[in-house]
Structure 1
Amino acid sequence: MDISGVFTDAFSRVQEEVHAVLEGLSQEDLDTRPGPGANSIGWLVWHIARVQDDHVADVAGREQTWIADDWHERFALGLESRDIGYGHTSDQVGKVKGVKASELRGYYDAVHAATLGYVAALVPADLDRIVDTRWDPAVTLGVRLVSVVNDNQQHTGQAMYVRGLLESS
């Protein structure tokens, strides 16, 4: 398996989990926060897509799908257009509500397609390219992509956990 195949597989696993967590949920389920200050499934899926979109668009040198395809206007969340959810307060988490599962899936799938388009052309030497000098050591493309997959997997696990809580109550 080549580098592009590894990342295609990793991001496709995220997509499978996003679809699985959204399957058959009501709007109430999507918007329910299992505790004060906890994240809802809707927020978690939105955040998964936003982080992937933001980070991959940055390394690919293109505009985010969220902005380029007007998803930020369709969702109308009352957040800044480049907000990805990092460091959100409880009030900000609460703004991500009322978004249908089909809209969340549609946005995630658009991000996924753009991501696969980018990783399809990767070769091993690309992974050593420095993409972020704000860290010490500087972040390479390989580290950034692995970080995105890791973040996405953590949050899909959280979303599945919240779904399990909702189904058991």
Structure 2
Amino acid sequence: MNCAGIISDAFERIHETVHAAVEGLPSEDLNARLDKDANSIAWLVWHLTRVQDDHIADAAGTEQLWFGDWAPRFGLPLEEASTGYGHTSAQVASVRVTSADLLLGYFDAVHERTTGFVRDLDGHALDRVVDDAWSPPVTLGVRLVSVISDDLQHAGQAAFVRGVLQRR
């Protein structure tokens, strides 16, 4: 397996985990918080999707899908460029979705664009610097590993919340 295959497989695992955490849940469960400061499934999946959308669009030199018709469809009371990073408890609470279809629609669109981007990458492409604001500068390979790690953690958290809610 080449590096593109490994990266694609990692994003497919995120896809499977997100769908398992979200599919079939009513909006009440998607928006539920286990305590007053906990992250909801809606926030976790929205956030991991926003980060993936932001980082992959930047690396690919394209516009984020969020800035098309997704931000208006969600209608969140946040700055349009918000990805969830550094959100307060009140901001987390403001990320509410009306359906699993809306949440998965955005996620699936970002996933499709991401897998299209990584499908043909080679080792040389992974060495390209995509962010020189850090020391050392961040390469595409490091950025992709960061997105995969963050997304898998949040997808796992969403699966955990679903499990807790289903045991209630």
Q: Scaled by the length of structure 1, what TM-score is found?
A: 0.96
Residues 76-125 of structure 1: per-residue CA shift (max 9 Å, x gap): 01111111000100111111113310011010000001001111221110
Amino acid in the other structure paired with 1:43: W
| 1:12 lines up with 2:8 in the alignment | no
Partner residue, 1:24: 24
Aligned twin of 1:55:
55
Q: Which amino acid aligns with 2:166?
A: E
Compute the displacement of 1:65 (Å): 0.8
Output the CA distance in 2 between the equivalents of 1:23 and 1:113.
18
- Unaligned segments of structure 1, at least 5 residues: none
* Inter-partner Cα distance in structure 2 for 1:53 and 1:3: 21
Alignment of structure 1 residues 134-145 onto 2, 5 Å:
134-145=133-144
Whether the 8 Å CA contact 1:42–1:99 is kept in 2: the answer is no
Pairwise CA RMSD: 0.9
Paired residue type of 1:51: V
Percent identical across equivalent pairs? Answer: 56
Query: Where in structure 2 are the equivalents of 1:95-134 lying within 5 Å?
Result: 95-134=94-133
Q: Which runs of 5+ in 2 are unaligned?
A: none
Establish whether residue 33 from structure 1 lines up as the match of residue 21 from structure 2: no
Q: Deviations over 1:14-65 (max 9, x none)?
A: 0011110012211110010001111000110101110100000000000001
Distance 2:95 2:21 in 1: 17
| Structure 2 counterpart of 1:2 | 2
Q: Secondary structure at the match of 2:130?
A: strand
What TM-score do the two structures reach when normalised by structure 2? 0.97
C-alpha contact 1:128 1:142 (8 A) present in aligned 2: yes
Question: How many positions carry a matched residue from both structures?
Answer: 168
- Which amino acid is 1:97 matched to? R
Match of 2:165 in 1: 166
Q: Which residue does the alignment assign to 1:75?
A: 74
Q: Is the 8 A contact 2:97 2:103 kept in 1?
A: no
Asked if structure 1 preserves the Cα contact closer than 8 Å seen for 2:44 and 2:154, the reply is: yes
